[in-house]
Each structure stands twice: as C-alpha cells, then as structure tokens.
Amino acid sequence: MSEPSPSDEVLLAAWLAGDRKAGFALFERHYDAVARFFQSKVGDQGGDLIQRTFLACVESLPSFQGRASFRSYLFAIAYRQLCRFFRDRAREQQRLDFTSVSAEDLQPSATAAIGQREEVRLLLAALRRIPVELQVLVELHYWEGLTTGEIAQVLEIPPGTVRTRLMRAREQLDAVMQRIAESPSLAHSTQTGFERWAAELRAPLRARRDPEPG
C-alpha cells in the first residue's frame, strides 16, 4: 500500500527549508487549478499569466506567514495577476471595477471551447458575462472546492460578503442563461444540473509547465 501524499503544509515547510523538490510537487499539484482559473477568462493568453503567478509565488514566499492555506494564497496571487492583466489593457484603467465588469467585456475573443455538451458551453458563456469577481467566486467554490473562509482570503473580503455574493452570482447566472440560451429547455437543464456541468467544466487542463520553484 502506497504512502499518502504529503499535505500542502508539509510540502511548503520542506520547500521553505530549501527542498526544491517539494516546491516542484506543490506546483504540480496546483498547476491545473491555476490553468483553469485563467482559461475561462483569457483563453489562450493564460499561459503567460500562469507563469507570472508561479514566479510571483516564488518571489513572495519568504513573506508568507501561513495565515491562509497555500491554495488560497496561490489563488490570491492569480487573481491579482488577472486584475493587472485586464487593467493593463483597459483604456480607462482607474475606472475598471471588477464587481461590475465581466470577462466578456474585457476579453471578448477568449476561447470558450471547453467541453462539448450544450449545457457546458452555455454555463461557460454565462460565467463570462457576469462580473469578474462573481465569476471568480463561483469557480473557486464549485470548481476548486474552496471554503467561504478561503475565498474571503483570496478576494480580501469578509466571509459573510462571500456568501452574499455567491447567492448574487447564482441569480445573475440564471438570468444570463435564460437570456442567451437557444431554448428555455436548455436554460432549465443547465440550471437544474448546475453542479454536474460545473464539475464537467473542471476537467483537467494540460499545458507546458514553464515556471520552476526557486
């Protein structure tokens, strides 16, 4: 019987102590999740953002105090990289509000070719039409299984606000799906099977692993 894989905390402690293999193991464990995070928002341009996220993780690791889980720490870095990416491309950078602007508004040409089922395509299209912050909330909760507390750490908002905005996100998703679906029956089947289609969207993504832990 094989030994259980070491926890993130064990790997992180080993990495901080100088074990580069532990750093590689952490990156390998969380790479697909970070890839999914960017794929649904910027499409094929996500490769550079993935690399920036892991490099920023390496650079900021000495200041990590363990107050959050490693994955929420990593997603917080990914979210900041995403916001910076969008702001760098926005004409009115100071007015960009991620609680109201959507990924579709900011990156309309991003690929939506994840999944073949009509419900999966509809769900992804709807996700890209709600505000970026709400899209991130939904994906971190339903795709990555982060707790309310972990999401609060990622977005730097109170846990109660996370719960309120998750409800708002589901309401907005339902409204968008009803508006853009090819038929009422497709909107209904997507809404009623939401968690199933969300899980299908979570299918692992594979890409070249460029960043290396220091």
What global pTM score does this model have? 0.84
Q: For 75-100, what is the mean pLDDT? A: 83
Which of residues 16 and 80 earns the better pLDDT score? 80
Phi and psi at 6, nearest 5°, equal -65, 150
Residue 186 pLDDT exceeds 90? yes
pLDDT tens profile 130-167: 999 999 999 999 889 999 999 999 999 999 999 999 99
Which of residues 185 and 66 earns the better pLDDT score? 185
What would the 3-class secondary structure string for 172-197 be?
Answer: HHHHHHHHHCCCHHHHHHHHHCHHHH
Burial of residue 16 (CB within 10 Å: 0-12, 13-18, 19+) is middle
Residue 115 pLDDT exceeds 60? no
> Position of tokens 């996220």?
53
| Strand stretches in 38-105, DSSP E | none
> Position of tokens 């910027």?
42
How many CA within 13 A on the CB side of residue 193? Answer: 17
- Give the angle subtended at the CA of 140 by the CAs of 46 and 4, to the nearest 5°: 95
Cβ contacts of 32 within 8 Å, gap of 6 or more: 204, 205, 206
pLDDT band at residue 88, thresholds of 50, 70 and 90? confident
**pLDDT at residue 3, as a whole number:** 65
